[in-house]
Chain A
Amino acid sequence: MLKVKGLSFSYGDFSVENVCFEVKEGEILTLLGPNGSGKTTILKNVYGLLKPKKKCVFIDGRDFHSLSLKERAKLAGYVPQSHYPPFPYTVLDVVVMGLASQLSVFESPKDEHYEKALEKLRLLGMERFKDRPYTQLSGGQLQLILIARALVQEPKVLLLDEPTAHLDFKNQVKILGIIKKLAREERITAILTLHDPNLASIYSDKIALVKEGRIRAVGESSEILREEILEEVYGVPIHILEFNGFRVIMPKTEVV
């Protein structure tokens, strides 16, 4: 479905070298790694927001970056780390912006477009927020609205940049549960970046461990999440426990 082949990029001293991975339809791949390892940079390069050195991203065999922004938006949705716009648009106004790729520059959205946006809000259980100012939402609600905006594009692929950043435990679980559901039920292929190896282990089909702009290891969660690899990537001593078939990653501490 989506293939990244030898993605390289550099900006100043920072560089991403030879990133390769593949995701099948309906699979979730997580880019996992410490702060500053280059997860977000890789994600932006995959979408083409940053320009990689050569063509390297293929969706169903097509060179993704040769497409216009409009065509890209129809194929793939990108959920950025949220920040506020300068004006307090309503939630519905924000979600309907996902349809920009389907409208000409001289068109404004009509009832049918607002209906589509409402449908996605309903899917995520956010319909009652439709008239709220976007700038007054909590972090979890904001994340859901941005996902709704991406879903309105009817994408095959969803790229999510730190969807659990700044969220409490309940909202982290909720958001990742929704992504999992979208992958299983709507056959959406998802690539996301995460900080927490445990959440990555529970919710992803594949994990790519990122360290200093390189992929240290990539594959099924069970093969990748091993003590020696994680210790090398994160630089702290780590224990892995087995629980109900899941791997639980714990830091080794002397204090406890």
Chain B
Amino acid sequence: MRRFLFLFLLVSPIFAFFISLFIGAYHMPMADIINMAFLKSLQLISGVLAKITLGKLYFDVQIPYPSVYQTVLFKIRLPRVLLAMIVGSALAVSGAVLQAIFRNPLVNSYILGISSGAAFGAALAIGLSLGLGVTPLAFAFALLAVFLTTSLAKIGGRITPVSLILAGVIVNAFFSALTSLLKFLMEHEKLASVVYWLMGSFANADWHSLKVAFPIIFAGCIIISLMRWQLNVLSFGEEAKLVGVETEKLKFAFILIVSLITAASVAFCGIIGWVGLMIPHMVRMAFGPDHKKLIPLSITLGASFMVLADTLARSIATYEIPIGILTTLLGIPFFAYLLRKTGGGWHA
């Protein structure tokens, strides 16, 4: 039974992907979507073949559907679904990694200051009407915040769990104050878009955002997966040195990867809470704390959860609900139930 659930969760993103592709504000029959997806794949394959064989077209594929169908499916819905999936993976796996290396089950990537740094960057770009500058500035300030937090936390060459959390609080407070100041000085229309961005949303997803976010997050998840067993050892703290693990170097590598993938997520979709905390806990409660299982399952369950939550966010009402609000509202009751039922699963 547990084995079945394990395999099911591992492949769940595939199901989640199709479910969310079929659902949306613009209604299209399921058969048409499958047909279009099939034809589009053929078209892409023929395109690739043509490139390889220098322009010789083996078969020409036409997609006999209205162009609005194609635009909705391929330009709006597909990139959005894919972005939600990789962002879900990134946030969930980041939470799992940080909880292990800081030996603290309540940590997620936002305590490093990433969210408030990114929020400030985005607010700055919106405030200065930089248009396309929102993503790069959010990204830059997210990384700056992580750098500030870790260097502030480093005392005598070492980062302790407590110093890191305190440094995170300081950096978060600093950037939050700056963001508030910006909001205070801003005009009303701009203020609205800052507030909306802060609530988190995939509404602006397009192929461009995927092109930037996907390689970073994909590579990050692969490296973390390969190194996942080290997290078991690292969660023993200083004891890890006794079995021959260079704890400081390894922690640094993990923090760097986690910062990059979180910043890549936050920059495109704003701040989406609870996923990094909730998903790893859910997996741990069902399958135990071994990172050999925890990391792959966090990646896949994170993807499935986020894309389904986003599908809800864009389809339960006539207007879109910010997904950050939805993940929190969905997550909290479930989390509370599991907490009461299992007693937490991270202590004796």
Which residues of A approach B to under 8 Å, CB–CB? 47, 49, 68-74, 77-78, 80, 84-90, 93, 97-101, 103, 105-109, 133, 135-136, 149-150, 153
Contacts and interface: CB of A to CB of B under 8 A. Distances in A.
B143 to A, nearest CB: 24
B347 A107 contact: no
Interface of B: 99-100, 103-105, 226-230, 232-233, 235-246, 250, 284, 288-290, 292, 345-348
Contact of A100 (B237, B238, B240, B346): B240
Given A86-B105, A89-B232, A106-B227, A97 B243 contact: yes
B232 A93 contact: yes
- Summarize B's interface: helix, strand, loop or mixed: loop
5 contacts: A49-B241, A84-B348, A86-B347, A90-B290, A107-B229
A135 B348 CA distance: 5
Contacts of A85: 103, 235-237
Contacts of B229: 103, 107-109
B258 to A, nearest CB: 16
Given A85-B103, A88-B346, A93-B232, A101 B288 contact: no
B105 A69 contact: no
B221 to A, nearest CB: 14
B239 A80 contact: yes
Contacts of A153: 243-244
B50 to A, nearest CB: 38
Given A49-B241, A69-B245, A106-B226, A97 B348 contact: no
A108 B346 CA distance: 22
Contact of A133 (B100, B238, B348): B348
Which residue of A69, A77, A108 has the most chain B CB atoms within 10 A of its CB atom?
Answer: A108
A229 B240 CA distance: 38
A93 B245 CA distance: 16
Contact of B103 (A71, A86, A93, A150): A86
Contacts of A71: 244
Contacts of A70: 244-246
B233 A100 contact: yes
A135 B246 CA distance: 25
Contacts of B235: 85-87
Contacts of B227: 105-106
Nearest to A106: B226
Contact of B348 (A93, A105, A106, A136): A136
Contact of A105 (B241, B250, B290): B250
A89 B284 CA distance: 10
Which residue of B227, B228, B242, B346 has the most chain A CB atoms within 10 A of its CB atom?
Answer: B242
Contacts of B232: 89, 93, 97
B104 A69 contact: no
A74 B242 CA distance: 10
A103 B99 CA distance: 23
Given A108-B229, A135-B347, A136-B348, A87 B289 contact: yes
